[in-house]
Amino acid sequence: MSETPRRRSVPDPRPARRTVLKLAAGAGLMLPRVGMVAAQGDDPRKARPQPNDRLVFAGGDRKGQVITLEDLPAGGPLLTAFPMDPAARVVRDDSRLNQILIVHLDPNRLNSDTRARAAGGIVAYSAVCTHTGCDIWDWQPASSTIKCPCHFSEFDLTESARVLNGPAPRRLPALPLKVVDGAPAVAGGFIGRPGFETGG
């Protein structure tokens, strides 16, 4: 008489929903401010932009290459960058909050605060929307504004990225720039806290 084969219990390789949520929180998407600060630690890849950092392409064919003035003609395009320690050549790309928008605007259209932080019309801001953290943008060159396609918040890059429309609760943090050896470089830390959490 043949035996009925016994079923073996095979562990489900998919993480439980709760585990997925914990992983998302660990990736920084849901962390409160204190958690994000602690996560930066001493890791240079997680550290926020530092003075004299260069900016490198965040993606595309030239990912990791230094952005020079030639890459930034007046009027756009709008580029997404990560900061890079120029001595150690460490790209600080291990935190999505280090994504930076950079674009060359007409300096005559910048308000005084924005002009003071710009490098000859080149301005930089956090690339993470202050609403719920999207980081893809529609560049609107005629108005020097950007629109977040997630919930349509709009920011004016000539006026310290103030919110023009939409649910974003605050402007995008600005990043002061200067020019070093023919390339934009960081002149100081973010003005304000990058990210979208509202606490703190």
User: Which residues in this chain contact ligand FES in the complex, by CB under 6 A?
Assistant: 129, 131-134, 148, 150-151, 153, 166-168
- Give the nearer residue to ligand FES in terms of CB position, either 29 or 191: 29
**Shortest Å, Cβ 193 to ligand FES:** 16
Residues 6+ apart with CB under 8 A from 60: none
Residue 141 class from Cβ within 10 Å (0-12 exposed, 13-18 middle, 19+ buried)?
Answer: middle
Nearest distance, CB of residue 91 and ligand FES, angstroms: 25
Tokens describing residue 133: 């953290």
Q: How far is the CB of 185 from ligand FES (least distance, A)?
A: 28
Nearer to ligand FES, 111 or 152 (CB): 152
- How near is the Cβ of 147 to ligand FES at its closest, in Å? 9
Q: Does residue 149 have a cis peptide bond before it, meaning omega lies within 30 degrees of 0?
A: no
Q: Which is nearer to ligand FES, 51 or 169 (CB)?
A: 169
Instruction: Please say which residue, 85 or 197, places its beta carbon nearer to ligand FES.
Output: 197
Residue (of 126, 84, 86) closest to 102 by Cα position:
126
Minimum distance between the CB of residue 184 and ligand FES, rounded to whole angstroms? 25
Do the beta carbons of residue 158 and residue 110 sit within 8 Å?
A: yes
Minimum distance from residue 47 beta carbon to ligand FES (Å): 25
